[in-house]
């Protein structure tokens, strides 16, 4: 990898990168910075977690004149969560240049944004609907924009933002620099590039770099009605430090988070129908380890800066392979390992093959633990925890009470009681999880080896995986795909697209 100091970056930006812990550029950063610093348009293909924000953020910050109070750069992102994350990272990169930055998105009081715009920010990060709303109100002037960034262009296309983007581009100078990033490059994205970009340089991560090599991937074959009980038994064995469970719809997320809470897990749900304040509150608690399990629709799969996630569980298999990559990419970050478990019904086994082709990695069949195995796993974790406490040798304040107990009770019985008190006993509290229709069986892609779509042709099954706390280290809502999106437009965001999907900024 190339060191940032070799990329003709100013000292002030290098200082910021050093504070952020950045030393070597990732492939997408190296390629993008090289061309963007020369003023070239760049078409970048990169997944979440590859460092693309810094890839476009560094050359963008380098071009900003801190003495010019006009808006000089515009970044368009598909979701409020991604807009916030991008804003935070750009603020850190441009800290030493004292650049003014503002994020604008739906769900936030627009009058507050209007007041903030009067402070003359030099960089605007926003969602398409809210940017267009400010343009219509004449509160946002883009006539001096030098750099335009379209982040996660394929997601904006899927969400029906193309008309908003076209309208925004009419208000941006033609002689601007354009940087477009997309996880995939379908024909529609190529068309946008040919229409709005000038001979762009393509920066594409090699396929081996787009895989998820640091993540152990398993699948559990189970009937829909069995999935929740299997999930809880796996959780009792894995004991994840921080886990995300993905559900397909907002109803699914609400039911799962409630059911987990009933069973004694510290879990909260997040989806597009929650208020912005509630979503940010839940995410903050999750980042601070006050919540062990985050249950989410695909709103959390893209763009959110969540570190430390050790396990990802796909309670419902996602409806497109790319979303699967984004989901499991929440773990196994920064060179650390992670674990992902995907639940599939027998009818969805054929679709599982398509997902494997996308990740270029076969998933290992996982045999879910029985109730007795789950309890044994819990007891082992409790025992290891007791040993850790003893080895820490910080028990002086407890020895007097311990001796009093030993005068009245057998030592083995006391240790057994301690293990029991730290063990989550199997819980069969009735819960309600509505059954959802599984994804329809799909035909294999060409080259699929002629495998049928019914069962698993592989030999051997992996046992129920790692016990104890394993896998260490460490957006826009996926919702329905039947022509509707979760959530509605917020605070003045106007629907301008002919797409049948509903959108939420």
pLDDT tens profile 54-63: 999 999 999 9
Predicted confidence at residue 302, as pLDDT, reads 58
Q: By three-state DSSP, how is residue 221 classified? A: strand
Residue 278 confidence class, pLDDT cut points 50, 70, 90:
confident
Edge-first strand order for the sheet with 177-182 is 101-104, 123-126, 73-76, 147-150, 177-182, 42-45, 201-204
* Segment among 95-104, 254-263, 278-287 with least mean pLDDT: 278-287
* Segment among 70-79, 127-136, 388-397 with least mean pLDDT: 388-397
Question: Rounded to 5 degrees, what are φ and ψ at 215?
Answer: -115, 125
Which residue in 108, 47, 112 sits closest to 80, CA to CA? 108
Q: How far is it, in rounded angstroms, from Cα 298 to Cα 343?
A: 16
Predicted confidence at residue 275, as pLDDT, reads 79
The string of pLDDT tens digits covering residues 310-334 is 999 999 988 777 778 878 888 877 6
What are the distances in angstroms from CA 474 to CA 109, 305, 332, 430? 34, 11, 6, 34
Which residue in 361, 320, 304 sits closest to 476, CA to CA? 304
SS (H, E, C) 299-313: HHCCCCCCCCCCEEE
Top-confidence residue, 74 or 225: 74
Question: Does 475 score more than 60 pLDDT?
Answer: no
Top-confidence residue, 56 or 411: 56
Q: Please say whether the beta carbons of 487 and 272 come within 8 A.
A: yes
Percent of all residues in the chain with a pLDDT value above 90, rounded to a whole number: 35
Predicted confidence at residue 300, as pLDDT, reads 60
Mean pLDDT of 134-163: 91
Average pLDDT of the chain to the nearest whole number:
80
The DSSP output letter for 439 is P
Q: β-strand 243-246 against 201-204: which pairing, if any?
A: unpaired
Predicted confidence at residue 387, as pLDDT, reads 83
Q: How far is it, in rounded angstroms, from Cα 376 to Cα 468?
A: 11
* Segment among 89-98, 286-295, 394-403 with least mean pLDDT: 394-403
Predicted confidence at residue 411, as pLDDT, reads 86
Burial of 261 (0-12, 13-18, 19+ CB in 10 A): middle
Q: Please say whether the beta carbons of 475 and 297 come within 8 A.
A: no
Task: Find the largest Cα–Cα distance for the chain.
Answer: 85
Highest mean predicted confidence (pLDDT) among 140-149, 233-242, 356-365: 140-149
Predicted confidence at residue 1, as pLDDT, reads 62
Q: Produce one character per residue of 370-402: b if its CB has 16 or more CB atoms within 10 Å, e if not.
A: eeebbbbbbbbbbeebeeeeeeeeeeeeeeeee
Task: For each of the domains in the chain, give its residue range(s) and CATH number, in order of start.
Answer: 2-209 (3.40.50.300), 212-370+427-474 (3.40.50.300), 371-421 (no CATH)
* Segment among 59-68, 103-112, 155-164, 254-263 with least mean pLDDT: 155-164
Q: How far is it, in rounded angstroms, from Cα 429 to Cα 405?
A: 33
Residue 330, token pair as written in the block: 């929440």
Query: What is the enclosing helix (H) or strand (E) of 189?
Result: helix 187-196
pTM check: above 0.75: no
Mean pLDDT of 176-202: 88
Q: β-strand 2-3 against 215-221: which pairing, if any?
A: unpaired
Top-confidence residue, 449 or 238: 238
Question: Does 392 score more than 50 pLDDT?
Answer: yes
User: What angle is formed at CA 170 by the lines to CA 83 and CA 493, rounded to 5 degrees?
Assistant: 45
Q: Please say whether the beta carbons of 99 and 120 come within 8 A.
A: no
Question: Rounded to 5 degrees, what are φ and ψ at 410?
Answer: -70, 140
Predicted confidence at residue 181, as pLDDT, reads 92
Top-confidence residue, 277 or 410: 410
Q: Please say whether the beta carbons of 272 and 298 come within 8 A.
A: no
Question: Does 38 score more than 70 pLDDT?
Answer: yes
The string of pLDDT tens digits covering residues 201-241 is 999 876 444 556 678 999 999 999 889 999 998 998 888 98
Angle between helix 250-262 and 227-238 (nearest 10): 60
Question: Rounded to 5 degrees, what are φ and ψ at 355?
Answer: -60, -40
User: What angle is formed at CA 403 by the lines to CA 402 and CA 408, rounded to 5 degrees?
Assistant: 100
């Amino acid at each position: 990898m190339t060191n940032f100091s070799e990329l003709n970056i100013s000292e002030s930006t290098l200082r910021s990168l050093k504070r952020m812990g950045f030393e070597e550029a990732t492939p997408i950063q190296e390629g993008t910075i090289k061309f963007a610093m020369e003023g070239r348009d760049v078409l970048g293909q990169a997944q979440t977690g590859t460092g693309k924000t810094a890839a476009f953020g560094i050359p963008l910050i380098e071009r900003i004149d801190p003495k010019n109070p006009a808006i000089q750069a515009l970044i368009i992102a598909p979701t409020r969560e991604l807009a916030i994350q991008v804003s935070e990272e750009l603020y850190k990169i441009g800290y030493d240049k004292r650049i003014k930055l503002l994020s604008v998105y739906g769900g936030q009081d627009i009058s507050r944004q209007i007041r903030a715009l009067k402070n003359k920010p030099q960089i605007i990060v926003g969602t398409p609907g809210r940017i267009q709303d400010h343009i219509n109100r004449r509160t946002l002037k883009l006539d001096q924009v030098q750099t335009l960034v379209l982040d996660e262009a394929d997601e904006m296309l899927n969400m029906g933002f193309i008309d908003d983007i076209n309208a925004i581009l009419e208000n941006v100078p033609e002689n601007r620099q354009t940087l477009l990033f997309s996880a995939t490059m379908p024909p529609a994205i190529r068309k946008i590039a040919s229409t709005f970009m000038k001979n762009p340089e393509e920066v594409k991560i090699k396929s081996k770099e787009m895989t998820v090599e640091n993540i152990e991937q398993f699948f559990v074959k189970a009937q829909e009605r069995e999935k929740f009980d299997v999930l809880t038994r796996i959780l009792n064995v894995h004991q994840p430090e921080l886990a995300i469970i993905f559900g397909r719809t907002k109803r699914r997320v609400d039911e799962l988070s409630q059911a987990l809470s009933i069973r004694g897990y510290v879990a909260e749900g997040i989806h597009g129908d929650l208020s912005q304040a509630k979503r940010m509150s839940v995410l903050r608690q999750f980042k601070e380890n006050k919540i062990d399990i985050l249950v989410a629709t695909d709103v959390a799969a893209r763009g959110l800066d969540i570190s430390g996630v050790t396990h990802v569980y796909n309670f419902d298999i996602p409806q497109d392979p790319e979303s699967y990559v984004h989901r499991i990419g929440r773990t196994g970050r920064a060179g650390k390992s992670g674990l992902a478990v995907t639940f599939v019904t027998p009818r969805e086994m054929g679709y599982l093959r398509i997902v494997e082709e996308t990740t270029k990695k076969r998933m290992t069949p996982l045999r879910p633990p029985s109730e007795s195995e789950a309890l044994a796993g819990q007891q082992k974790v409790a025992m290891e925890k007791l040993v850790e406490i003893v080895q820490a040798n910080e028990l002086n304040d407890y020895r007097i009470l311990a001796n009093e107990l030993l005068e009245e009770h057998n030592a083995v019985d006391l240790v057994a009681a301690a293990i029991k008190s730290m063990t989550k006993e199997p819980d069969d509290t009735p819960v309600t999880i509505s059954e959802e229709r599984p994804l329809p069986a799909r035909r294999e892609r060409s080259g699929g080896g002629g495998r049928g779509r019914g069962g698993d042709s592989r030999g051997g099954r992996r046992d129920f995986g790692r016990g104890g706390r394993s896998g260490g280290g460490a957006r826009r809502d996926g919702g329905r795909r039947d022509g509707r999106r979760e959530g509605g437009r917020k605070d003045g965001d106007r629907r301008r697209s002919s797409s049948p999907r509903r959108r939420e900024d």
